[in-house]
Chains A and B, each alone.
Chain A
Amino acid sequence: MDKIMYEAQRQGRFSFYMTHFGEEALLGVVAALQPKDVIHGQYREAFGLLYRGFTVEECMDQCFANVADGGKGRQMPVHYTSSKHYFQSISSPLATQIPQAAGSAYALKMRIPTQYHANDSERNCSVCFFGEGAASEGDFHAGMNLAATLKCPVVFVCRNNGYAISTPASEQYNGDGIASRGVGYGMDTIRIDGNDMWAAYNATKTARKIAVEENKPVLIEAMTYRVGHHSTSDDSTKYRDRKEVERHQQFENPITRVCNYMMNQGFWTQAEDDQYKQEVRDHVMSSFKNSQKKKKPPVKELFTDVYDTLPPNLVQQEKELERLITTYPEYFDFLDEHEKS
């Protein structure tokens, strides 16, 4: 999906995209969770959404900001949201999700059913992803400290992928990575090979158990590498050596490692791999074709959901916009791209 979407952005089909190349092993984190564990992502965890059942087409609907987008076309591409999959909205400000994850975990600990979480049979935890760059933000320190002092069942997963856009980790911190901070805040911490899916899976499985049984936070620092550019607005050849990227791709590619493991164990063959790749490519392409055809959401959705109901000023402003569209239709010809209200 990433390859095709990246190309689509380059062709101008939509404004922006972010790939996961190099960090796919962290799928293991999500695989070790229960379906109702609340995920607070940063922006490079769409694999988690797909694992939970969000479709490729739904991803594309969001990127195209069309009428089928669950977010009603309000956010930039890759800012996914899905309450059905217990995946909180991605937001651009970094690290804001960290104290939020402490809060949602505290709420889950109270085990009271709400509109958003049944809190029924099993104990649930929150899981919070962030990069090593975001871990420099004030919200990181606030969130970690809150989680530790208030005994919140949250698993923090730091994707230390070596870069925050162009800033290498050596310019991001002087201490021993992010793991040392977990210890400083008094929480159980582990550092793992972030390109090893089994490591991600097993560490999360244990971290989750600690979180829900002992009501305390756990920090996992996953050492990995961002093979792709930061986003489609970035060209990483400007700040790093191509050879460095190629070396990671060749020797540490998480997908290759899993593939090799499965083939060595006899679970998988090259032929199956080729066929599966083709199936996936076809599926992604057909989702893309479907998604592309859809219109944008009705313009009235510009004004809804700011509050639970429209306040008087928005009622008035909506009427004002209607008046302008009716009076100067030739200046609003892009209205046709939207579904009728």
Chain B
Amino acid sequence: MLRYASRPLSSLKKTQARWFAAAATQSPDGIQQGVAFSQLLKRTPEEAFRTPELVGMSAMNSETKKMNLFQAVNDAMAIALATDDTAVVFGEDVAFGGVFRATSGLVEKFGRERVFNTPLTEQGIAGFAVGMASVGHTAIAEIQFADYIFPAFDQIVNEAAKYRYRSGNQFNVGGMTIRSPCSAVGHGGQYHSQSPEAFFAHCPGVKVVTPRSPIQAKGLLLASIRDRNPVVFFEPKILYRAAVEEVPVEDYELPLGKAEVLKKGTDVTVVGYGSQMYVLENAIQLAEKKMPGLSCELIDLRTILPWDAETVIESVNKTGRLVVAHEAPKTSGVGAEVAATVLENCFLRLEAPIQRVCGWDTPFPLVYEKFYMPSMIRCFDAIKTAVNY
């Protein structure tokens, strides 16, 4: 009897003890939050092939496999290595499978000449990738955490991004792709949670891409690898295990530079990317519950540079209202670029000021993470403000 009585206490201790662990939670309004309950994920093969971009594929091969995000990334790299003799994968700790298991099994399949560890040097990894790509190879480099990409900033911005331009198109490093885990994970603090996409969004010559799900990750990564421009591919690390879908086993690509409308609506346009899509999904569920009749349109940018302004402008011309959300700090974040462009193009159509829901302008804090993040309730509040203006 005593043991049963103590159970509620012990579960309370568990919740308190595990404040740092990401988990699906119930919110006061009955919204089932979290990736596990998301309807954005395609959990059956039929759902997977229903997307317009993949519908043509099922005719050839409709086989899918249940994969999480790191498995989808792994699959994309395996296909790249198998279809391109010049392709190599390298970075810190990639040989044993990588700290997030994204490269597991690749050495066994393709050998140590093509999948190899480098010494601990991000600037070296990026420079090495530039060098390989400059003689026509496909270099897939991993930067272990996006927080550590800054030593590589010079090689990416001053070299990779300008390689084609400064050579008058005699050379290019189109074969270069840098992939890196990014964004909040619940306990990462300053140096394991950053979303540095805005630094690169400001750099002409480079492309910046970020997937929200396994199907997206595989298709976008293959497209990034094969794109004839250097690409920085940010993978939200919290989704590595949490996001699971039925992913087509075939070799397929998804288009870069094209946003995706995930939910059509008429009253407000809600824009985000990466792991933020699930927060926005919940915020919209809450908003449509609290304000019956409200219809929100949800857009995933997918490519941050060059970004699909056309799709977002078309949407705001329909709805008249815009909410943009991202984990990265508000000032000069990607939301600022989206807001300015939409304002320029939709000025007379706008019914309310553009809302940005972002991380506060602070370094990423540890114990204050839940206050820092652009959470469901903050996004809901922004939707409400835009709609009630």
One of B96-104, B114-122, B316-324 at the interface: B114-122
A79 beta carbon closer than 8 Å to chain B: yes
A107 touches B135 (CB 8 A): yes
Closest to B130 in A: A100
Residues of A within 8 A of B174 (CB): 308
Given A81-B168, A308-B174, A138 and B151 contact (CB-CB distance below 8 Å): yes
Name A142's contact: one of B121, B137, B204 (CB within 8 Å): B121
Cα separation A288 to B298 with both chains bound (whole Å): 60
Residue with the highest number of chain A CB atoms closer than 10 Å, among B128, B137, B306: B128
A69's closest neighbor in chain B, by CB?
Answer: B168
Scan A84-109; emit 1 where CB is below 8 A from any B CB, else 0. Answer: 10001101010010111111111110
Q: Quick check: A74 and B309 within 8 Å, CB to CB?
A: no
Nearest CB on B from A111, distance (A): 10
In the complex where A89-B163, A91-B158, A306-B164 touch, is A114 in contact with B86 (Cβ < 8 A)?
yes
B381 at the interface (CB under 8 A from A): no
Residues of B within 8 Å of A150, CB to CB, are 116, 118, 128
Give every chain A residue within 8 A of B29 (Cβ-Cβ). Answer: none
Residues of B within 8 A of A71 (CB): 166-168, 170
Contact, CB under 8 Å: A108 / B135: yes
Determine whether A143 belongs to the interface, using a CB cutoff of 8 Å to chain B: yes
Whether A149 is near chain B, meaning CB under 8 Å from some CB there, is yes
Proximity bits, B138-180, A CB within 8 Å = 1, else 0:
0100000000000100110011001111111111101000000
Q: Determine if A329 is an interface residue (Cβ-Cβ < 8 Å).
A: no
The answer to whether the Cβ of A112 comes within 8 Å of any Cβ in the partner chain is yes
The residue that B128 contacts in the complex, of A84, A89, A100, with Cβ under 8 A, is A100
Q: Which residues 206-262 of A sit at the B interface, judged by CB distance below 8 A? A: none
Quick check: is B129 within 8 A (CB to CB) of the other chain? yes
Assess the A305–B168 pair: CB atoms within 8 A.
yes
For A102, the closest partner residue in chain B by CB is B128
Query: Is the beta-carbon distance between B127 and A143 smaller than 8 angstroms?
Result: yes
Decide yes or no whether B113 CB sits under 8 A from chain A: yes
Contact digits for A112-123, partner B, Cβ 8 Å, 1 yes 0 no: 101111000000
Q: How far is the CA of A70 from the CA of B164 in the complex (A)?
A: 12
A21 to B135, CA, bound (A): 31
- Give the contacting residue for B159; candidates A69, A75, A93, A101; CB below 8 A: A93
**A141-B172 Cα distance, complex, nearest whole Å:** 25
Q: Does B272 contact A (CB under 8 A)?
A: no
- Knowing A110-B86, A307-B205, the reply to whether A117 touches B168 (Cβ < 8 A) is no
Residues of B within 8 A of A114 (CB): 86, 135-137
User: Are A99 and B257 closer than 8 Å at their CB atoms?
Assistant: no
Given A145-B119, A311-B306, A313-B306: A89 in contact with B127 (beta carbons within 8 A): no
Cβ of B123 within 8 Å of any chain A Cβ, yes or no, is yes
Residue B137 contacts which of A89, A98, A110 (CB distance < 8 angstroms)?
A110
**CB of B134 within 8 A of chain A?**
yes
Q: Which residues of A contact B229 (CB under 8 A)?
A: 307-308
Across the interface, B310 reaches (CB within 8 A) one of A89, A102, A312, namely: A312
Interface residues on A, range: 35 or more
**Nearest opposing residue in chain B for A148, CB measure:** B119
Q: Which of B64-107 contact A (CB under 8 A)?
A: 85-86, 88
Which of B86, B123, B139, B169 is in CB contact (< 8 Å) with A103?
Answer: B139
Contact B165 A305, beta carbon cutoff 8 Å? yes
Report the bound CA distance from A139 to B165 in whole Å: 22
A313 touches B172 (CB 8 A): no
Determine if B130 and A305 form an interchain contact, defined as CB atoms under 8 angstroms apart.
no
Is there a chain A Cβ closer than 8 Å to B228's Cβ? yes
Q: What per-residue 1/0 map shows which CB atoms of A141-158 lie under 8 Å from chain B?
A: 111011001100000000
Known contacts A96-B159, A142-B124, A145-B124; A72/B169 CB under 8 A: yes
Within 8 A of B (CB), among A42-91: 69-72, 74-75, 79, 81-84, 88-89, 91
CA A98 to CA B121, docked complex, whole Å: 13
Picked from B88, B137, B170, the residue with its CB within 8 Å of the CB of A82 is B170
Q: A81-B170, A110-B113, A114-B86 are in contact. Are A103 and B132 (CB under 8 A)?
A: yes
- Asked if B166 contacts A103 (CB within 8 A), the reply is no
A96 touches B128 (CB 8 A): no
> With an 8 A cutoff between CB atoms, is A38 at the interface?
yes
Q: Considering the chains assembled together, what is the distance between the CA atoms of A116 and B151 in angstroms? A: 28
Please name 11 pairs of A and B residues whose Cβ atoms are closer than 8 Å in the assembled complex, sorted by A: A70-B167, A72-B169, A82-B170, A91-B158, A98-B127, A100-B131, A103-B129, A104-B131, A104-B134, A142-B121, A150-B128
Hey, which bits of chain B sit against chain A, CB under 8 A?
A: 85-86, 88, 113, 116, 118-119, 121, 123-124, 126-137, 139, 151, 154-155, 158-159, 162-172, 174, 204-205, 207, 228-229, 257, 306, 309-310
- Give the top 4 A-B pairs by smallest Cβ distance, nearest first: A103-B131, A114-B136, A99-B127, A142-B124
